[in-house]
Each structure stands twice: as structure tokens, then as C-alpha cells.
Amino acid sequence: MSEESRLIAGRYRLLDRLGRGGMGTVWRADDELLGRRVAVKELHPEDAGGGRNSSPYSSAAAPLREARAVARVKHPHVIVVHDVVVDDGLPYIVMELVDGGSLAERIARGGPVDVPEAARIGLALLAALKAAHQLGVLHRDLKPANVLLEESTGRIVLTDFGIAQLAGSTTITDGGSFVGSPEYTAPERMQGVRAGPESDLWSLGVLLCAVLSGESPFRRDSLGGILHAVVEDEIRPPAQAAPLLPVVLGLLERDPERRIGAGEAEELLRTYVTTGSVPLSAARPAPTRKDNTSPAPASPASVPDGSAAGAPALRQPVAAPTSGGRRRAPLLVAAALVAALAGAAGAAAVLFHGDDGSGAQAGPSRTAASSAPTARTEQSPANAPKPNPTVTVTTPPVASVKKPVAPKGYLSVADPGGFALAVPEGFTRSQDDKRVYYVAPDRGIRIGVRVQNATPDGSLGAMRRSHADGPSTNPGYRDGKVTPTTHNGLPAALWEFTWNGFSEAEGDRHTIDICWDESGRMYDVWVSAPVGRADEARRHFDTALDSFTPAG
């Protein structure tokens, strides 16, 4: 039986993959017992706490408990969980199938939303969170990618409770992994202390900023930078958030005890929906510092209306919660978290440090220059041209990337370029100024990765430019085709072509290349191989793409 038609639990037939994330793979499936279409989430073995040979009541116990907790939440804006099953030692969560994309896809495709739509989204998510919190369930990963928009009705659905926990959980797991998305994580969770419903409300404040402006106000080039921004740096809501500023400032209050509650946030958003404005007197002053000095309050006079050029910065450098009368500095806690996340990833990068003859060598962290007009042109590691930089992209440290599980015959690599993937055993790493390569021992097959800033016309436009430039960048370019597609639910473009290779000894080659935008960056993954080894190359391409994990 093929992977696409697997039958699990004697009932759910997996049809096609909808997406893959850090917590599992989501499939479109048929419930053959009830004759309905569903979504099935296959939890990754490492996230289930075991593997196929583990006892289903030990390896799957934690995620199944969480799924059952979420299944108790009955609300129109919360994903419906139909069933939780164990098949061949692995847990699966069966959910309703929402016909529509995510909020992240909508922003990537059409840009930020207007203020009325942001208020509508905020109200729906507040209602969903209130229903979950009343049952003691925390989401812990509220972000645009985990919000679905039903195409036919416009219904907003909060999904992916895959890391949800009952109230009182911390951000660091027993295995030392970071739980959640750092840009959307509340400062108290960054500091490793127990958190409650207030943490989800902080994430909602970040989400409102992101949907109104296109990105989180805590977006930085590294995990360390994000941690500093969340815990210590000035909070600068985007100018687009000015009409909802009292709500945003209230939710982005670093002290959870002073953060506005769901009821107050809901009241303010409903006021905007009915009147078109939020009373400026609702804006809260910044908290008093621990050294008894107080920053200037966000008074009504300082809160701009929708025509203002920007929103004020809000400085909230609060200390971590106390324990036994002792204070902990937020930045020290953040630094410890960065150090804890470094782990084995650095060792893998050292293992794959190599030189393929081009003289390019890997470092622990580097700054990549990008000319940005095209996604990429096929290049041999030994023949890559010098860059023409106009945009600088600082890649995150390897510590911020979680290594994927590698199938048999492959090794899991956390690359210094700010991503992780599975590559065939025996392949060696090299890089030039723009690209990272993993090359077969006989140098016949090359896996390439390039990370650069997203371009205004997106991945499809970038690939079409590369296709147009194909004859000038790839000798004997022919049979080129660019196809719109998706990757992990995000808009993507697939480019395939055949060419003559860079030398007569190389011979005819075939290249498979996919490009997509994610979190403000453009990711490009490709495999190039002799035409006679196209099937082998496609297997490597599929494995690299399925396992590819960007930083952050």
C-alpha cells in the first residue's frame, strides 16, 4: 500500500499531505466508517515521546492527553477534534477539515489586513481562547500560521493545539527543547517560569500587530535578538496598529498581572467595531520599574490616531518573577535559554564542515549578501560568481534550529546558515557567498540551499525571472517550466529544467528547484544531478524538502 493511501486504525485512509510542521504532518483523509473527509495529524516520533517500537500507552500518552483536553473545547472558533488513535505505535489526531488557508498564507499572498478585519480576527480568537482557558487549556503557540480562514464562510478557526498544555506548563520541555514560536511567546514564558492564560493574550497582541503590519514587532535576525526584544527591548507597535493601540498596549504588557484580560480586550475591540474607534483613555501607562523609577505613561495625548506616523515605543524592562525572594535578570535567563538550545546542533555543523575545492568554509554564523532580484541560478560550487550585494541578511545562529528526524541512509544536519535538513550519508558541505551545498562523494549530485530576503513579487515572480535568465546562467538550458505550488501551506514555486552542465565531463543534468517565502525570508532548495540519476536525485530532493526546518 502506498504512503498516500495508508489506512490507519482500520478507518482513516490518508490521501494527500496538506502540510508538515515542527509537531507533525497533516493529511487530508477519508473517514471510511462515517463517509466524511477529515484532517489527520500524524505526530512525529520525537514529539510523541517515542517511536514505532514504543508502547502506545507510554510514547503517545502525553500528546493524546493534550488532544483529549483540546477535544473538550467546544466552540465555533476552535478546531473540532474528532478522534485520537494510535497506529503502529504512533499517535494520530483526527480533526475537522477546514476548507481554506491559514492567516499566515493570507498575509503572505495579499499583505496586511485592514483594522476592521483585524478587530474581527481578534474577537474570534479571544472567544476561542476564553473557551479553552475556562477548561484550563492553554494554546501556547498562537500565531498567524495556526489560524485558519474558512473560504466559504469566512469563519476563523484556531487550530494546532499540538503543543497545548494544561495551565501551569513551562516553555522548556524535559528534553531542553523550546516550546512555541519565540516571536509570539510571552516574556514570562521566555524566562522559563510557569505561565497561565495571560501568556496566550500576549501572543494575541503580537498577532494583531503582525496582521496589521505584515510582521511581528519582535522580528529579529537571530533567536538571541528575539529573546532580547521580547524580554527587555522597547516595544514598538507598528503605525498601522494606532487605531487599536489601547488594546495592543494592554496585551503587550510585560507584567502578566497588569496585562489586560480577555474580557477587557473583547470590550475594547467591540467598541471599535461598533463606533470605529477605541477610547484613548483606555490606554494604560507603562509599569513602574523595580528601581522605583517610572517611564513616561502612554497618556491619551501620546496615543496617536490612525493618521499618525507611528505608534510610541513602550519601555517595560521588568525583572523576572521572584522565587524565594531572589530576583533573576531577564537577559541572563534569555542567555541561558540560548545556550541550552545550542546542544547537538553545533556538533552536527562541525561534522559537516567541509571544503569541496572552492575554498568556501562554514562558520558558526555568517552574514549572507544578496542581490535579491532573482531567487537563484544553478551554480557549481567551484564556479559561483562573486556577489553583487545590495541587501544584507543576517542568518540566525544554529542554536535556533531544531534538527529533523532523518530516515535511514540520511543524516540530520543543523546548518550554520540558519536551517536544518536531512542529507544523504557521505555528502560533504561547502558554501559560497550566496549558497550552501551538500555534494555527493562522486560530486555527481548536488543539494543546494539559499536563504535571502523575500522579494515584492514573491517566490513565483522570482522563479519566473530565474527561468527567463536560464539560457544565460545554465549552458544548454531547455525544457524549463515554473509551476505555482505550495510548501507547508505557504505559496511556493517549482522550477524544473535540463541543461548541459558546466563542463563536458559533467554531461547533461536535470535540476529540481522549489522556492517559498516564510517569515520574511525566501527559502530556495534544489537538487541537481546527471539526467541518468534523476530518480535518485528526486528522492534526495523529497527528503531534503520534507525535513527542511528554517530557523525560528
Q: What does the domain layout of the chain look like in residue ranges?
A: 3-96, 103-290+300-336, 352-550
Cβ pair 179, 22 in contact under 8 A: no
Angstrom CA distances, 376 to 239, 355, 454, stand at: 34, 22, 12
C-alpha cell at 437: 551545498
Closest CA relative to residue 462, chosen from 446, 484, 445, 444 = 484
C-alpha cell at 120: 474581527
Closest CA relative to residue 107, chosen from 248, 229, 228, 216 = 216
Q: What are phi and psi of 179, to 5 degrees?
A: -105, 120
Give mean pLDDT, residues 61-67: 60
Question: How far is Cα 506 from Cα 529, in angstroms, rounded to an integer?
Answer: 9
What pLDDT sits at residue 264?
A: 95
What pLDDT sits at residue 405?
A: 81
Which CATH class, in words, describes the domain spanning 103-290+300-336?
A: mainly alpha
- Could you report the per-residue pLDDT of 208-231, keeping only the tens digit for each? 999 999 999 999 888 888 888 999
Most confident segment among 112-121, 372-381, 494-503: 112-121
Give mean pLDDT, residues 57-66: 53
Q: Residue 327 pLDDT > 50, yes or no?
A: no
Instruction: List beta partners, residue 428.
Output: 439
- Could you report the per-residue pLDDT of 414-457, keeping only the tens digit for each? 888 889 999 999 999 988 878 899 999 988 999 999 999 888 88
> Degrees (nearest 5) of the Cα angle 440, 443, 447?
55
- Could you report the per-residue pLDDT of 487-512, keeping only the tens digit for each? 887 888 999 999 998 777 778 999 99
Cβ atoms within 10 Å, residue 33: 10
Cβ pair 311, 245 in contact under 8 A: yes
C-alpha cell at 365: 554564523
Closest CA relative to residue 44, chosen from 162, 202, 179 = 162
The fold adopted by the segment(s) 3-96 is Phosphorylase Kinase; domain 1 (3.30.200)
pTM: 0.53
Instruction: Determine the length of the chain.
Output: 552
Q: What are phi and psi of 293, to 5 degrees?
A: -95, 155
- Could you report the per-residue pLDDT of 20-55, keeping only the tens digit for each? 765 678 889 999 999 999 999 887 655 444 444 444
What pLDDT sits at residue 73?
A: 85
Task: Express as a percent the part of the chain with pLDDT over 70.
Answer: 68
Q: Residue 7 pLDDT > 80, yes or no?
A: yes
- Could you report the per-residue pLDDT of 233-278, keeping only the tens digit for each? 889 899 999 999 999 999 999 999 999 999 999 999 999 998 888 8
Closest CA relative to residue 284, chosen from 265, 266, 274, 297 = 297
Question: How far is Cα 18 from Cα 41, in angstroms, rounded to an integer?
Answer: 10
Question: How far is Cα 25 from Cα 17, in angstroms, rounded to an integer?
Answer: 7
pLDDT category at 552 given cuts 50, 70, 90 is low
Question: How far is Cα 116 from Cα 114, in angstroms, rounded to an integer?
Answer: 6
C-alpha cell at 65: 492527553
CATH architecture designation of domain 352-550: 3-Layer(aba) Sandwich (3.40)
What pLDDT sits at residue 463?
A: 92
Mean pLDDT score of the chain: 74
Going by the DSSP 8-state scheme, the letter that residue 470 receives in this structure is H
Give mean pLDDT, residues 368-383: 40
What pLDDT sits at residue 389?
A: 29
